[in-house]
């Protein structure tokens, strides 16, 4: 036991007295975080500042010169260009169709699948499968299924005597189609969040309520639903923000059409910026989207805080 550790011989040399333990820890922490932070500044903060500047300018495509035009682009969007309000309307319709449908279906599936029975894993796997599938692939297949007369869905409808619409060629039906197919694609995600929340509720609550003679519906509405409150809010935030970001799905299925019937904000930004090269206007739209998403998030966070 007399042999000392080798490290002790060198201890005096290596102590680095000019660096305190606290400073050393802080230095190491900054080193750990610096790649992420640097990338964040370059690819996120910088562009976020730039987009504010862009939105106040008019770009000349030929000379690549930017001229400061103040709030003109915002003016265009909010007061001059009727497309903008049409796009906002579409986005709101899309979100207010998608969010409730998605959440209601997710909750129903979660309630059905939150406790074990034979085949529960299979059902969970099935309902979640579209989530891992690429949105483009999903949209391609559905676009195929929803073709006019020759499409599979309409052929099936014809068998039972229904003359199905040309889903993706009529503005209102196209909107319904993108909402429904998007819900089927994404509902699995909310379903598993609800399942996790349901499984975290102690079974004793339900047992106690049953002993007191509560019906299934009463147990749900008085016990389970209130306890799911925080989860419901989180899901609502995620789903709402997600619905404003939907791009690939609509790009593939309808290309924003027909007659701009499914032209939503994310798509409109892409179209103005990268198809029409109206950088200033597209940047103003991006800022508006930023504000909309921010406000929605903050409102929902505030609701959450009030509830807890």
Which residue, 132 or 211, is less far from other proteins as judged by CB? 132
DSSP code of 177?
Answer: H
61 binds other proteins (CB under 8 A): no
283 binds other proteins (CB under 8 A): yes
Count of residues near other proteins by CB under 8 A: 103
Which residue, 240 or 261, is less far from other proteins as judged by CB? 240
φ/ψ region of 256 (left if φ > 0, alpha if ψ in -120 to 50, else beta) reads: left
302 binds other proteins (CB under 8 A): no
Cα–Cα distances (Å) from 61 to 52, 58, 84, in that order, read 19, 9, 22
97 binds other proteins (CB under 8 A): no
Report the alpha-carbon distance of residue 211 to residue 28 in Å, rounded: 58
Residues 6+ apart with CB under 8 A from 123: 112, 113
Total number of residues shown for the chain: 308
CA 268 to chain centre: 17
Which residue, 49 or 71, is less far from other proteins as judged by CB? 49
Residues 6+ apart with CB under 8 A from 218: 209
User: Closest approach of Cβ 252 to other proteins, in Å?
Assistant: 6
Report the alpha-carbon distance of residue 99 to residue 187 in Å, rounded: 10
DSSP code of 115?
Answer: S
293 binds other proteins (CB under 8 A): yes
- The label of the residue with tokens 């998608």 reads 98
Interface residue with other proteins, options 129, 162, 208, 302 (CB under 8 A): 129
Interface residue with other proteins, options 69, 289, 303, 304 (CB under 8 A): 289
Binding piece for other proteins, criterion CB under 8 A, among 68-76, 81-89, 216-224, 285-293: 285-293
62 binds other proteins (CB under 8 A): no
Interface residue with other proteins, options 61, 71, 126, 208 (CB under 8 A): 126
212 binds other proteins (CB under 8 A): no
Interface residue with other proteins, options 68, 152, 222, 225 (CB under 8 A): 152
């Amino acid at each position: 036991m007399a042999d000392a550790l080798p490290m002790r011989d060198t201890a005096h040399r290596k102590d680095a007295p000019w660096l305190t333990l606290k400073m050393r820890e802080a230095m190491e922490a900054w080193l750990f975080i610096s790649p992420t932070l640097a990338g964040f500044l370059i690819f996120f903060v910088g562009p976020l500042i730039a987009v504010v500047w862009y939105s106040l300018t008019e770009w000349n495509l030929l000379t690549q010169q930017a001229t400061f035009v103040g709030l003109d682009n915002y003016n265009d969007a909010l007061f001059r260009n009727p497309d903008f309000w049409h796009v906002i309307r579409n986005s709101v319709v899309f979100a207010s169709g998608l969010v409730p449908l998605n959440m209601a279906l997710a909750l129903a599936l979660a309630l059905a699948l939150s406790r074990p029975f034979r085949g529960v894993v299979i059902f969970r796997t099935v309902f979640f499968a579209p989530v891992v599938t690429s949105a483009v692939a999903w949209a391609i297949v559905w676009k195929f299924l929803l073709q006019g007369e020759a499409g599979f869905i309409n052929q099936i409808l014809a068998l039972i005597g229904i003359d199905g619409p040309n889903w993706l060629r009529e503005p209102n039906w196209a909107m319904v189609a993108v909402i429904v197919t998007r819900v089927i694609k994404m509902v699995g995600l909310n379903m598993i969040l609800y399942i996790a929340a349901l499984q975290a509720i102690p079974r004793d609550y339900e047992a106690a309520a049953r002993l007191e003679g509560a019906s299934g519906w009463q147990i749900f509405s008085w016990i389970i639903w209130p306890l799911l409150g925080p989860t419901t809010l989180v899901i609502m935030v995620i789903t709402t923000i997600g619905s404003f970001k939907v791009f690939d799905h609509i790009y593939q299925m309808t290309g924003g059409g027909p007659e701009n019937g499914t032209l939503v904000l994310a798509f409109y930004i892409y179209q103005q910026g990268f198809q029409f090269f109206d950088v200033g206007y597209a940047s103003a739209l991006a800022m508006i989207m930023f504000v909309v998403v921010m406000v929605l998030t903050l409102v929902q966070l505030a609701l959450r805080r009030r509830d807890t």
